[in-house]
Structure formats: structure tokens, C-alpha cells
Amino acid sequence: MDVEEVLEFADHLVFAMTGKHLDSLQKAILRGAWDNQKYREIAERHHRSEKYVKEVGFKLWRLLSNILGEELSKANFRAALERRWRFSFVLPFGKAFVRTAKVTPNTCNSPEITNIQQLDEDISVGYEGKNSLFSSHQDLSDAPDVFSFWGRSEELNKLEKWIVEERCRLVVLFGMSGIGKTALAVKLVEKIQDNFEFVIWRSLCYKPTLAEMQANSIQFLSDREEKEVDGNADFRLSQFMEYLRKYRCLVILDDVHLLFSTGELAGCYQSGYEDYSLLFKQLGELTHDSCFLLTSWEKPREIVTLEGDNKPVRSLELAGLDIPSSGELLREKGLGEEKWEYLINHYAGNPLWLQIVSTIIADLFEGSVSEFLKYDTLLLSEELKDILSKQIYRLSPLEKDVLSRLANEDEPVAISKLLGNIQFSNSDLLNAIQSLRRRSLIQKQDGNGMIFTVKPVLKQYLKTEYFRVLNTAIKLNIN
């Protein structure tokens, strides 16, 4: 397929849809896109302003996207058309194309056209489904490899539905450390990446400012266009949003909790990172075709007001792996098949916790779970203590207080028992309980949303380690 055939092909499609042929500037834009020229070069050659050429280009991509049922842009135009052309020999699209050439504007709604559109739909069925034909550009260098992965089909299907079918623009995956947020996000990307023109994975472990994250992403998105990324914060954000409108992008921000403060309620931005809040709001509120997937220990505050079943913003609290999937993990670790269910429930199906304890069982108890349980039903290895301490360290003083009360109770605790404390106002207490929920540190009891529980491992940690350290600190202060 050469560029002249492309122009003829596109002209026929546009004529069949609108009754008008492509004008010279539209042809120049298609020719330029084919040859990977910048808008500036096309504009200079045709003695037009770059802005005007971009506007014409934008409308043209919209029109072609509507005709072909697939999001087209200057960046993916050549790949998409070449692919269509290849398909036209496999499917009867070639014939449709010839027939399209014969139609006049007046016959646009004739059965022939319907037929052509049907054939076209057959080809582009994947645009919103599994077989999508986008040729996506990916920057996944920050994404970790996931070697073994069990279960999670329900979560994967739900996230795919939200993002691909329902076109959500902002999705938050939150839950405790080690619960499998990053692994799930990696698997999701593998599953849905073809629906996006660009896929970008950014780990926030080096805590990039919004300006750095945007500049870095824009550089990748504008590889072919050399866009400027200077200007004030508002301008940069609007420029970033422009890219997210122009291309269908999937951006994963991993470890978003690193943007939040310690010692305060969940989701409170550290100084210097508050402008991420504006980004998340704009992603939810402004129209665009891209999607941001965030993983976090804490649910960002903005999400609470933006999310909803009929809104393009959703959040998913990730629970532990179910028994069969956790069992696969234990089998892989070489554990003998007894008392698995007990072990899995105690470690709440958290894959990282299960990995840690099963390594110890394999090493010291020859893989026998029953032997291990004779000595210690809830072993807190140093590694596990370290993981938990990082999460507890982030809490506000009142959250620590509420959590320790819950941990000291043998039974689940009713909200009424927590309120009415003379030391704190009910509104402060409710905010602390809400914040602990947003950190996945307390759960509602099944069937009764007003009763809260703490996971056994966390309870054990708080009762043994945390209070011991706290008491020592208090004693030292007194002395």
C-alpha cells in the first residue's frame, strides 16, 4: 500500500460518509502523517498557520475515527490504515471499498452502505473488545515482572469492564501492602493494552513532582512532535490534558500513597505534591478518552466525591486471594497439603504475607503446615513486622488510638462502642474510623456494616510489637 492508494482509500471513505471529497489541505495532512511529518512542516509547505493545520487535522481524525469505528490520530494513522488494508484481503472489506467508491451522497443510507458499515464493524469489532487493533506505544520500563499469578479473574474482569467498556477515566486500586495491587495492575495492562495508543507505567517510588511526572510523560507522548513543556503549572496541566484528549492513553501510577503525609488522616498530600489533587480532579471531571489507574495504600480524598457507579471514576479495594488461589501459591512454595485453609485465613490471603510465612515453613518445618502450627499459629517474622510498621507509622495519633482499641478486643467492635469517648469528639472519631477504612486497616463485618474487625496478623502485631515499643517509649519518657 503506498500513499496514493491511502489517499484514494480515505477519499472514498470520506466521500461515502459526507458526500464531499478530501480537500488539498486534508490530503496534505494525510500525506504528512504517512511520512511522519510534523504539523509545522505541513503548515509551512502549505503556507498556513500550524494552529489552523492542527485544527483541520483534528477534525479529519475525528471524521475518520467515526467512519472506521477506531480512534485515529496522526500518530497511529499509518499503522491503522496499513492494517486495515491487510485485513481488506482477508475479510471482504476490499469489495466493500470498491462498492463504496460507487456510491453518491444520496445513497448514503442505502442497504449497500449499511452492508459496508456492517463489514467494517466486523473488522473493527475489537475496538472496544478483546481483539482491539490499536498499535500501542508503551513505556513499561517502571513496571515489575510478575512471574507467577493466581486467581483474580473477577477483579481483572471488573477492571477491564470499567476501563474498556465503560470508559472510566480514573480508577484507584487500593489495599494493604503486599495484597497484590501492582501484580494485578501488571496483569491488567497485559490484558487491555491493545485498546490504547499509549501505555505508560510510572512508579512514584522516587516521588516525582507533578511537573516532573508530566514532563516525563509528555516527552514520551510527543516523541514525534517535540512539544514544549515549559510554562506555569496551570499551562503544563492543560497541555498534559490536551495529550490525554488527543490520544487514548492508559497511565498507571504505582504507589500513589507516597504522595501523602504521615501522621495525618489518609490521603492528605505532602507539601509540594498538592497539585496531584488537581490532576486527579481534572481526570475525573474533564472529557477525555484516556484512563489513569492508581495503586495506593490509601484511597485519595478526591476520589470519594468523584466516584460512582454511573461516573467515570471508580475505586476497588483489593481483598486477599481466595482459598484456591492462595493454595496454588502455597503449592508453588512446596508446602504439604494440610491445614492450608487455616493458614490462609490467618494471613488473610495476602500473597506477600503468605509468601513470607511459607518460606519459613518450607525452610524450618520441611514444608509441614501442621508442624509449624504446633509452635506458632501467627508468626510475625522480622520482614513482616517491618512491612506492618511502615503502615502503622503513617497513621494519625487518633487513628492509632482507635486501631489499638479494636486490636485489644477479642470480638469485632460496634461503632457505638468507639464513639462517645469523652477524650475525643464524635466527629474526630468518625473521621479516624473513616480514614482507617480508606487505608484498608479495618474491615466491616460481613452482614453488619456498623461492626469492625482487624485482620489477625495486624492484631497480633499491634498487641505484641507495637504496644511493646510504645510502652517502652512511654516508660523512657517518664524516667
Which residues of this protein are in contact with Mg ion, per CB under 5 A?
182
CB 192 within 8 A of CB 162: no
Alpha-carbon distance 100 to 112, whole Å? 8
**Part in contact with ligand ATP (CB under 6 A); list of ranges 210-218, 349-357, 397-405, 424-432:** 349-357
**Part in contact with ligand ATP (CB under 6 A); list of ranges 66-74, 347-355, 420-428, 438-446:** 347-355
352 makes contact, choosing from ligand ATP, Mg ion, none, with CB < 5 to 8 Å by partner type, with ligand ATP
Q: Is 188 in the site for ligand ATP (CB under 6 A)?
A: no
The residue whose grid cell reads 485544527 is 55
Q: Is 145 in the site for ligand ATP (CB under 6 A)?
A: no
Contact letters for ligand ATP, residues 150-169 (x by CB under 6 A):
xxx-----------------
CB 226 within 8 A of CB 38: yes
**Shorter beta-carbon distance to ligand ATP: residue 284 or 327:** 327
In the sheet with 291-296, reading across from the earlier edge strand, the strands are: 137-139, 198-203, 249-254, 291-296, 170-174, 313-317
Say how many CA atoms lie within 13 Å of 88 toward its Cβ: 18
Query: What distances in angstroms separate CA 120 from CA 74, 125, 129, 133, one per listed residue?
Result: 21, 8, 15, 13
Grid coordinates representing 55?
485544527
267 makes contact, choosing from ligand ATP, Mg ion, none, with CB < 5 to 8 Å by partner type, with none
**Shorter beta-carbon distance to ligand ATP: residue 355 or 434:** 355
Q: Is 315 in the site for ligand ATP (CB under 6 A)?
A: no
Q: Is the dihedral of CA 344, 349, 352, 353 positive or negative?
A: negative
Cα distance between the two ends of the chain: 85
CB 180 within 8 A of CB 321: yes
140 makes contact, choosing from ligand ATP, Mg ion, none, with CB < 5 to 8 Å by partner type, with none
Q: Is 321 in the site for ligand ATP (CB under 6 A)?
A: yes
Spatial CB neighbours of 411, under 8 Å, sequence gap ≥ 6: none
Spatial CA neighbour of 59 closest among 14, 7, 104, 19: 14
Q: Is 202 in the site for ligand ATP (CB under 6 A)?
A: no
- Pairing of the two strands 137-139 and 198-203: parallel
Alpha-carbon distance 125 to 70, whole Å? 9
**Shorter beta-carbon distance to ligand ATP: residue 32 or 175:** 175
- For the bound state, the minimum distance from the C-beta of residue 201 to ligand ATP, rounded and expressed in Å, comes to 13
- For the bound state, the minimum distance from the C-beta of residue 71 to ligand ATP, rounded and expressed in Å, comes to 30
**Part in contact with ligand ATP (CB under 6 A); list of ranges 124-132, 142-150, 259-267, 404-412:** 142-150
Q: Give the residue closest to Mg ion by C-beta.
A: 182
- For the bound state, the minimum distance from the C-beta of residue 254 to Mg ion, rounded and expressed in Å, comes to 6
Note the residues at the interface with ligand ATP (CB under 6 A): 146, 148-152, 175, 177-183, 255, 295, 297, 321, 329, 351-352, 355
